[in-house]
Amino acid sequence: MGLSLRVLVTRPKPAAARTAARLRELGHDAVTMPLSAARHFPESISQVLSKPASGLVVTSAEALRAIGQTGDLVSIWKKLPIFAVGAATAQEAQALQFENVIAGNGDGALLAEIISSHAAGEALGAPLLYLAGTPRAQSLEQALREAAIPFEVCECYRMDAVQPSLDEQLRLLRGRRPDAVLHYSSESLRRFMELQAIVEAPQLALDIVPYCLSRVIAEKLPGELYVRAKIAPNPSEESLLSLLSPAGSRPRSGISPA
């Protein structure tokens, strides 16, 4: 690959547009093909507003967008500690004027460790409220249970599948073929591999290098693609996009399988 790559972004709107803009700033040719769309459930949030909570937990900026739809109702949470899975989610919380934002490094299990450390220093008078989406990984919830930290889940959004037309798939995958595709979740990777164009012509996927936000995601790839995958050193967009730099576009020991 050259220094400038054609990169396929499958994130939902508006995240896809933001990622594409960042890629263009880095000198790459970005194309978007969202494979999911968020459906918010602000009524679910309204139902838990009256319940006591020691703090909030969010593992996606999408949950905060759902919170934003509740308007002034959410103001009763502004002073609670809010544990955000990573920097981007923390920034969304700060934009909503949450006053006590505690950011992790992008990993759900590690976020549970941060929560556990915080809980050890302060007695939790009420459960934490996990503002979650569907589908989602279970690593955070499992780790919280193992640490005996009480929490309640409020499913406030769902990522519904979006199926581009076959013509659109072929235009983006077989016309000017992308050099790379970004995978931010196991679910979006699964949806990409199940596209009709990929199922009918698997070689289309083999010719595109997968860039994965984490090794857990990369491990969902078929073997012939896994050996070509580039894996972000840290589960953040900044880390993932750094792999697209001239140095990052080559496999590196310990980061990407050889």
pLDDT digits (tens, 9 = 90+) for 42-78: 889 888 887 899 999 999 999 999 988 776 666 778 8
* Region(s) of the chain under CATH 3.40.50.10090: 6-35+162-242, 38-160
pLDDT digits (tens, 9 = 90+) for 238-258: 999 999 975 444 433 233 322
The span from the CA of 95 to the CA of 68, in Å, is: 10
pLDDT of residue 256: 31
Label each residue of 39-85 as H, E or C: EECHHHHHHHCCCCCCEEEECCHHHHHHHHCCHHHHHHHCCCEEEEC
- Pick out the chain residues at pLDDT < 50: 1-2, 247-258
pLDDT of residue 73: 60
Q: Which long-range contacts (CB under 8 A, 24 or more apart) does 233-237 make?
A: 234/105, 234/106, 235/86, 235/105, 235/106, 235/107, 236/86, 236/87, 236/88, 236/105, 236/106, 237/19, 237/22, 237/88, 237/184, 237/213
Fold adopted by 6-35+162-242: Rossmann fold (3.40.50)
Q: How far is CA 71 from CA 15, 66, 79, 95, 219, in A?
A: 22, 10, 16, 13, 40
pLDDT of residue 199: 96
pLDDT of residue 257: 29
CATH 3.40.50.12280: does it fit domain 38-160? Answer: no
